[in-house]
Amino acid sequence: MSTNSIVRVPLGNRSYPIYIGSGLLTTAGTIFRKHNISRSVVIITDQTVASRYLPLVRKSLLSKKFSVHTIILPSGEGQKSLGTAKRIYSELLERNMERSSTIVALGGGVIGDLAGFIAATYQRGIGFVQIPTTLLAQVDSSVGGKVGINHPLAKNMIGAFYQPKFVLADTSVLATLPKREMISGLGEVVKYGIILDKKFFSFVEKNLEKALSRDQSVLAKMIRRSCALKSSVVARDEKEDHLRAILNFGHTIGHALEQAGKFGILKHGEAILYGMVAEAYIACAMGMLSIQELERIEFMVNRLPIPFLTSLKLNSSALLATMRKDKKTKNGVLRMPLPNSIGKVSVATTVDEPSVLRAIEYLRVYGS
């Protein structure tokens, strides 16, 4: 595999490329020019990312005669809110940003979701570019056009489907990514193998430690395959009418765990890892997944050092209440994608609450 590669998201006249490789931030200006991005660019980022990577991106864009405005936010999930969106709208209006302007998301999933939501709604939609700086964002949230903000009662319940002009995933930024952020991203990488590609799951099994040690070649392959797998699903079901729901494997229980910790104890990918164990347990209990494959999934997760669940003080009733607000729940009935085997998944399986409660009890032991 070459140092740099391109994965295409095929959506007709809204198709776009995902550029993957090392050192791409320094060529941002050239890539923007190639895609005829408007001269007026607004970079939305957070304080942590800005201190490391904003100067590189800004210098590259200025060298190609772009007008660059920056909005730097505090770090954290709390920025995905209506309050923050309102402040950004005000700044865009005060700066007289026109419909020809382009919003650039420079950061992780929080920045990508928020900036995309702004791009989708400001003047009914302006240009949008994703520059994800975490592994999680590079393999998941920057691909497929899901953008949005949180509500105090539920995560990602306010949003849209809004595709970027392109995604620029620079693997060299992962060298400075904190270990927990790497693990969080690998949680989504593992998910793609479980639901879509048994061979890829085996590749991740064999190369997990190399990925954790920031092996550029291994990471590039994992990112490329993850993006290709997600793109193939998005191309067939852009707005999650049916098939795209399989990408939510591990998320029904995982999101509930995130919220139980007030988004501060478990990172997204860590919660999804636990969610996948619980939902694979449900699949096994329902006779869909073999005990051998459940154990294989658990062994993979065990190799990733994630926080114990004991600090969450799991409340079964509260977790169920959160799950009832999940987007996949219909008429009060819990539905979730469940694996039939590693590499194959059922789109939406009805799961009764006693099964979920048993899975939560299983997690209490597993995560302690």
**Angle CA(62)–CA(21)–CA(276) in degrees, nearest 5?**
120
255 carries an active-site annotation = yes
Catalytic residue among 240, 270, 279, 293: 240
The catalytic residue among 77, 181, 188, 258 is 188
Annotated catalytic residue, options 58, 146, 155, 224:
146
Name the active-site residue from 58, 248, 279, 296: 248
**Pick the catalytic residue: 244, 267, 296, 335?**
244
Q: Cα torsion for 278, 261, 176, 106, to the nearest 10°?
A: 100
Q: Is 181 a catalytic residue?
A: no
Catalytic residue among 36, 94, 96, 124: 124
Q: Is 207 a catalytic residue?
A: no
The Cβ-side half-sphere exposure at 350, using a 13 Å CA radius, reads 5
Q: How far is CA 273 from CA 187, 264, 277, 278, in A?
A: 5, 16, 6, 9
Query: Is 230 an active-site residue?
Result: yes
Q: Percent helix, strand, coil in the chain (nearest 5)?
A: 55, 20, 25
Active site residue 188: yes
303 is catalytic: no
**Is 244 an annotated catalytic residue?**
yes
Active site residue 248: yes
Among the options 58, 80, 224, 251, which is catalytic? 251
What does the alpha-carbon distance between residue 54 and residue 98 come to, in Å, rounded to a whole number?
A: 23
Pairing, β 16-21 against β 5-9: antiparallel
Torsion of CA 176, 181, 185, 190, to 10 degrees: 120
Q: Which of 165, 268, 296, 335 is catalytic?
A: 268
Out of 255, 267, 296, 335, pick the active-site residue.
255
Which pair of tokens denotes residue 323?
Answer: 């799950």
- Amino acid sitting at position 136: L
**Catalytic-residue membership of 328:** no
Q: Is 279 known to be catalytic? A: no
- Residues serving a catalytic function are 124, 146, 188, 230, 240, 244, 248, 251, 255, 268
